[in-house]
Amino acid sequence: MGINGKILVFVDLPDGELDETGRGLLSYGARLAGTLDSPWGAVVAVTPDSVQLAAFGAYGTPTITCMAGGETLLDTPALLGKSLAKLAQDELASVIVLPHNDLGTSLAPVVAHELDAAIMTELVTVRQNADGVRLSRKALGVRVAETRLWDCSRPLVATIPLRALSQVLMPTVRPSAPAVASWRTTAPISGAAAAITGRIPADPQTVDLTEAEVIFSAGKGCDPATFEQLKELCKLLNVSFGVTRPVYDLGWTSFERMVGQTGRTVTPGLYVALGISGSMHHVGGIKDSRRIVAVNIDSKAPIFPNCDEGFVADLKELLPRLLDQVKTRIGGTP
């Protein structure tokens, strides 16, 4: 049992550029097409310029469908979703791939509803079996792990978590010169739709740690003075801060800041572990971070084999110096 139609990968072009998420989605699309032995192509709401076209080509993107007028719908996801569903019908798509971000999670239910399609959010792995396609996901901050069987009788709408996206160019993918086509809906898209009037960027000081981009975490190697210095550093650098369980147990911060197996499972681009030994209960909650940097006074601390970069240093010396340097850079004086 296999799929009959095409895989459509919806790529947003913030500021007209193919960003990290877009590149990751193209890489995902190329891999998925190989797994399902199916043709694939990209869909964009903003027409790419020649530089961006070359970037699409580097990922072997065979076709790009530009939604005429799509740019004006970006602030009304319900209407954009309806439009995308019509395009998917016109292109006889079997799979519609979206990023699991603000835009993708707004579009996915609309597209699935319009197409009467199956929906799988935070999809990670796809396997073709004799009885159908097995779809596995880890959702809700990796608290849910499940595998579902898709019988391919209806289209599938899938959102892909950003942590599962890799911009790596697959060696099997040949660069292409994508065939670009413009698509315009024949029926008018209408309906009551909430419009986005503004976007407020997440505040790293309050954002849920599962969504944080950069986290500096304090372990038991911090004393009250270095802990306060670390919090000040996080504010100055505008990054999120987390703690290990013993630090939470001291009552220095709330439970939402605790990272690890019983705390938050985090997947930031950068995780900086300060005075953290690296127990399995803590490492289990950080191992999917893109880059882990550790500072510990003990060169034999178990965190070191689990990090990308390790520094043997005393936080009592390091943190005041780091703070001074950051203050000098930001404000001119320490």
Ligand X SMILES: Cc1cc2nc3c(=O)[nH]c(=O)nc-3n(C[C@H](O)[C@H](O)[C@H](O)COP(=O)(O)OP(=O)(O)OC[C@H]3O[C@@H](n4cnc5c(N)ncnc54)[C@H](O)[C@@H]3O)c2cc1C
What 234-238 contacts at long range (C-beta under 8 Å, 24+ apart), as own/partner pairs, is 234/204, 234/205, 235/205, 236/323, 236/326, 236/327, 236/330, 237/326, 238/204, 238/205
Q: What is the token pair recorded at 269?
A: 């681009």
CB 78 within 8 A of CB 110: yes
**Contact with ligand X (CB under 6 A): which of 25, 189, 301, 322?**
301
Q: What is the token pair recorded at 268?
A: 């930031």
Question: Which segment (2-10, 27-35, 198-206, 239-247) binds ligand X by CB under 6 A?
Answer: 239-247
**Contact with ligand X (CB under 6 A): which of 45, 91, 296, 322?**
296
CB 36 within 8 A of CB 128: yes
**Contact with ligand X (CB under 6 A): which of 178, 260, 268, 310?**
260
Is there binding between residue 262 and ligand X (CB under 6 A)? yes
Question: Which segment (30-38, 50-58, 120-128, 244-252) binds ligand X by CB under 6 A?
Answer: 244-252
Of 82 and 264, the one with the shorter C-beta distance to ligand X is 264
In the bound complex, what is the minimum distance in angstroms from residue 325's beta carbon to ligand X?
Answer: 18
Place of tokens 């954002």: 207
**Contact with ligand X (CB under 6 A): which of 54, 297, 323, 326?**
297
Of 69 and 246, the one with the shorter C-beta distance to ligand X is 246
Of 86 and 257, the one with the shorter C-beta distance to ligand X is 257
Site string for ligand X, 270-289 (x = CB under 6 A): -----xxx-x-xx--x----
Q: How far apart are CA 157 and CA 160, in angstroms?
A: 10
Who contacts 175 (Cβ-Cβ below 8 Å, separation ≥6)? 57, 58, 60
Sign of CA dihedral 31, 35, 39, 44: negative
In the bound complex, what is the minimum distance in angstroms from residue 11's beta carbon to ligand X?
Answer: 36
Of 17 and 298, the one with the shorter C-beta distance to ligand X is 298
**Contact with ligand X (CB under 6 A): which of 240, 244, 267, 289?**
244
Q: How far apart are CA 151 and CA 3, in angstroms?
A: 9
Is there binding between residue 230 and ligand X (CB under 6 A)? no
Q: How far apart are CA 164 and CA 124, in angstroms?
A: 6
In the bound complex, what is the minimum distance in angstroms from residue 143's beta carbon to ligand X?
Answer: 13
In the bound complex, what is the minimum distance in angstroms from residue 324's beta carbon to ligand X?
Answer: 17
Is there binding between residue 306 and ligand X (CB under 6 A)? no
Task: Give the residue ranges of DSSP H helices in the chain.
Answer: 20-36, 50-58, 70-73, 77-90, 102-115, 224-237, 245-249, 280-283, 315-331
3-state secondary structure of 151: coil
Q: What is the token pair recorded at 270?
A: 């950068």
Of 38 and 244, the one with the shorter C-beta distance to ligand X is 244
**Contact with ligand X (CB under 6 A): which of 246, 252, 326, 327?**
246
Q: What is the token pair recorded at 59?
A: 């990922």
Between CA 240 and CA 106, with CA 123 as vertex, the angle to 5 degrees is 70
Question: Which segment (153-161, 180-188, 213-221, 324-332) binds ligand X by CB under 6 A?
Answer: 213-221
In the bound complex, what is the minimum distance in angstroms from residue 252's beta carbon to ligand X?
Answer: 11
Is there binding between residue 253 and ligand X (CB under 6 A)? no
Residues found near ligand X in the complex (CB under 6 A): 219-221, 244-247, 258, 260-263, 275-277, 279, 281-282, 285, 296-298, 301, 314-316
